[in-house]
Amino acid sequence: MRLAGIDVYLHWTYFLAPLYIVYSTRDFDQAWLVNGVLFFLLLNLSFCVLLHELGHALMARRFGVPTKDIIITPIGGLARLAWMPKKPNQEFAISFAGPLVNLLIAVLLGVIVCFAGGSLLPSLSFEGMSQLPVVMLWINLALFLFNLIPAFPMDGGRMLRSVLAKRMSYLRATLIAARLGQLSALSFSIFVLWENQYPLILVGVFVFISAQFELNQARLKQVNEVDGDSIGA
């Protein structure tokens, strides 16, 4: 698929999501209904993730940076920019453009729901597809806040680096942002172990490794210019 001149791909893991949904609802009464609702939610979520990545890509284009492609996975997206501008203000704008899209979607849905006379609070029981705008409003708000966490590989990590890079070298700014990311990944991992939420430890490990990767990239760049930069969801 091509959008605004950018190739959009689904990552192969995307096809694991429907399998996981079907597997996790196998004991439910009316599993087909639950599955249908969850598939529909997944499609809507992926659409919002795609708009988020387009936000990064179109802001990058404003600074003359082309995007190689956009990859959508079940847990997020990736806009692979040809390079990340060295100017801190441009990196900040490109990183913030993605979460900003989610905030705009949430505000837009909020206005629509208010005009339709609905409640902005999500109800805990399933009543019908009319709940979709409110559910998507909260999901987009969550995406906005989650991405602002100042830790690599979240957009907030890049925003933090660009703010720091105004006062110090790019490498030192990356080092601080990466160590902060790893510290939050460690605290998160300890917390989920404490709460016996073992599968969530993968998220902590992923964030920890991504932060190290980002740091290694910056160190490599210091030695010789490497091409290619990606922006996570």
Distance CA 169, CA 164 (A): 8
Distance CA 209, CA 214 (A): 9
Contact present, 79 and 53 (Cβ < 8 Å): yes
The residue among 60 and 233 lying less far from Zn ion, judged by its C-beta, is: 233
Distance CA 143, CA 85 (A): 24
| Residue 214 in the binding site for Zn ion (CB under 5 A) | no
Tell me how many residues contact Zn ion (CB under 5 A): 3
- State in angstroms the smallest separation of the CB of 102 from Zn ion: 9
Q: What strands lie across the sheet with 6-10, from one edge to the other? A: 2-3, 6-10, 67-73, 76-81, 229-232
The residue among 98 and 181 lying less far from Zn ion, judged by its C-beta, is: 98
Question: Token pair for residue 59?
Answer: 């802001």
| Residue 204 in the binding site for Zn ion (CB under 5 A) | no
Distance CA 116, CA 134 (A): 11
Q: Which stretch binds Zn ion (CB under 5 A): 18-26, 34-42, 122-130, 153-161?
A: 153-161
SS3 (DSSP) at 99: helix
Active-site position among 53, 127, 195, 214: 53
The residue among 54 and 135 lying less far from Zn ion, judged by its C-beta, is: 54
| Residue 155 in the binding site for Zn ion (CB under 5 A) | yes
- Asked if 225 is an active-site residue, the reply is no
Which parts of 79-98 interact with Zn ion (CB under 5 A)?
98
Residue nearest Zn ion, Cβ-based? 98
Distance CA 177, CA 171 (A): 10
- State in angstroms the smallest separation of the CB of 233 from Zn ion: 5
Sketch the per residue contact string, 33 through 72, with Zn ion: x for CB under 5 A, - otherwise: ----------------------------------------
The residue among 93 and 134 lying less far from Zn ion, judged by its C-beta, is: 93
- State in angstroms the smallest separation of the CB of 75 from Zn ion: 13
HEC string of 109-146?
Answer: HHHHHHHCCCCCCCCCCCCCHHHHHHHHHHHHHHHHHH
Q: How many CB atoms lie within 10 A of CB 54?
A: 21
- State in angstroms the smallest separation of the CB of 160 from Zn ion: 14
The residue among 21 and 46 lying less far from Zn ion, judged by its C-beta, is: 46
Residues that bind Zn ion (CB under 5 A): 98, 155, 233
Which residues participate in catalysis according to the annotation?
53
